Chains A and B, each alone.
Chain A
Amino acid sequence: MKILLFQGLVGLSEAMYLWLVAAGLSLIFGVLRVLNFAHGSLYMLGAYLTFYFFGLLGGNFWLGLVVGPIFVAGIGLLMERFFLRLVYRLEVAYQLLLTFAFVLIFNDLVKLIWGPIYQALPMPSGLNDSIVLLSRAYPAYNLFIIILGPLIALGLWLLLEKTRWGRLIVASASDKEMASALGVNVPRLYTRVFMLGAWLAALGGALSIPIRPVSPGMGETIIIEAFIVAVIGGLGSLKGAFVGAILIGLLHAYGVLFLPVFEMALAFMLMAVVLILRPWGLFGTRET
């Protein structure tokens, strides 16, 4: 029993990284109606740049955590403003290919600048102890992540429900034409939403540094998982992304315990089931 609970905690902390990336992906899709294939690369860039700033700023992880994702948001600005914006009116395949080009570029760029080998970081001081939970040693950092994740979710919820800008985002997502006719500068709003999504992904990447090695391949796996999470939760729904991330996180954690061979296929099969029974996801809206 304790093992189960413990494994559950492991799953939850993993879920939070997934949540951050999936939230950005879902947000961008919900508002801009574009699937940002390069979202995994933004996650990767978040990790690398935080790592870089961490080194630059004298080993302060927290400072790097602040600066890194903001920098990636800036990259997101460039991506959207000068490239993505040009192709909104075109076919979906076009947009996918465009963001795919960025995947190729970012991937090699990272290898070019930082080299192809894995990087690893020590835990930030203050969190590098383990806490004894359920008579096992549980890393304090993971606990930190489990607390941080829902906080950010709360923050996003507050942003969208309670702030003006958030309400404008919701309005523009449901009817961008009408929003435009009422004075909303929709193109500018789109850019900012994209930046927010990029920031979220980058934050996920940055937070993952102490736990996982930073490598150029980290973008590919996370984009698939984030997509699975977003689909299960409903593309465009942040609540759905949160729930979906927890589901998948737990699925992985328990899958590793009980069915290690099939572990990766499990998430996949869940998505397949959702797509068959309820294609718009758990919390999505039925859009014909």
Chain B
Amino acid sequence: MRKRRTPVFNSGSRQALHNRAHLGVVGGLNENRLKVYKGFGLIFLIAVLMVLPQVASRFYVYITLQILMLSLFALGFNFLFGYVGLLSFGHAAFYATGAYATGLILKNASTSLIPGVLGGTLIATLLALIIGFFCVRHTDVYFSMLTLAFGMMIYSLAWKWREVTGGDDGLIGIPRAPLEIPGGLRVSMRAMPNYYYFVLAISVLAIFLLYTIVKSPFGLVLQGIRENPGRVEFAGIPIKRYRLLAFVISGFFAGLAGALLAPLENTVAPAVADWTKSSEPILASLLGGVYTFAGPIVGSALFILLKESIVRRTEYWLLVYGIILLAILIGLRGGIVGAVFQRKGKKK
């Protein structure tokens, strides 16, 4: 796993140059060499991940699974925050919906893994469409508080709707259904390594999909909306519609992460909808860097590993993370970050 410390909030000129140079006219040897390094790094990483269950203990496989799922969750969140500029405090709503929906499908409707996961993800995405419709009409403070409120509503629903969600007992006995590939192949997912490979494959695909979106024209326009919505509107773009689309995509990834959780743990409890769960992708993204694509992934790794080591010493990991967050925010508010986060000064 990459443990390099990507600076937080780095959108500084250096990074922009590297990431965007292939679009511009400034080409050159440097840029190509970097791409080669990146390519090799990625291949190496994937190789390590694939070999992992053979060489490491079950515990590390489990940790890596958690990192993969949080990465998807955080990537979803940060698509909205880092790329579109909308800060959601209630993303656990989609995570939880993905988890519960998948759990329900696998318990009651399907004996195959993919329909379960897919179904759960799609239901979460549908929820994102509904919630997003209300939220994207507002920005800044109102948006953030609305997402928080919706998140709490879903949490409350998870608690109260006993008949469906099992209340505070949660949904138990979710089978880790076998993977059925059309053509007759049936692969059992009981063994952890098998499920691990499934999640790895799905994650790689999903991350690749998101990467494509981010690097596409649509992705660029979204960033423009983040930078200056008025200006982009003056370029002819209906910004509310675009924000809603981004919200839905964001919900898709969060839902997928939750959907993958259900078969792994075999239970889903209301805690997956809690506001502390919503804070995890926020912390992970901030740790790894909100303005780079890989930031949330790196941050997720950091988050999980850090949490593991904290939880061994104290159960108050939120306190530690709160302090870390405070330190990050205060420490970096000047310099690049200050310039990056500054309010636009108005002339009159």
Contact = CB atoms under 8 A, between A and B. Distances in A.
Q: CB atoms of A and B under 8 A apart anywhere in the complex?
A: yes
Interface of A: 35, 83, 86-87, 89-94, 96-98, 100-109, 111-112, 220-221, 223-224, 227-228, 231, 261, 264-265, 268, 271-272, 275-276, 279
Contacts of A100: 89, 279, 282, 325
B342 A105 contact: no
A103 B149 CA distance: 16
Interface string B319-332: 10111011001100
A107 B319 CA distance: 7
23 contacts: A35-B141, A35-B145, A83-B326, A86-B330, A93-B81, A93-B144, A93-B341, A101-B322, A102-B322, A105-B323, A105-B326, A106-B322, A107-B318, A108-B317, A108-B318, A109-B316, A109-B319, A224-B148, A265-B153, A271-B149, A275-B137, A275-B138, A279-B138
B308 interface: no
Interface string B327-348: 0011001000010011100000
A105 B327 CA distance: 12
A178 to B, nearest CB: 15
A108 B330 contact: no
A246 B137 CA distance: 27
Nearest to A219: B275
Given A105-B318, A279-B138, 17 more contacts: A83-B330, A86-B330, A87-B329, A92-B140, A93-B81, A93-B140, A93-B144, A96-B141, A98-B326, A104-B322, A105-B326, A106-B322, A107-B319, A109-B319, A223-B148, A224-B148, A227-B145
B318 A91 contact: no
Given A89-B343, A97-B329, A107-B318, A264 B141 contact: no
Contact of A90 (B149, B325, B338): B338
A97 B330 contact: no
Contact of B87 (A96, A102, A231, A276): A96
A84 to B, nearest CB: 10
Contacts of B330: 83, 86, 98
Contacts of A112: 316, 319
B299 to A, nearest CB: 14
B290 to A, nearest CB: 10
A20 to B, nearest CB: 19
Contacts of B329: 87, 94, 97-98, 101
Contacts of A279: 138
Given A35-B141, A86-B330, A90-B342, A104 B153 contact: no
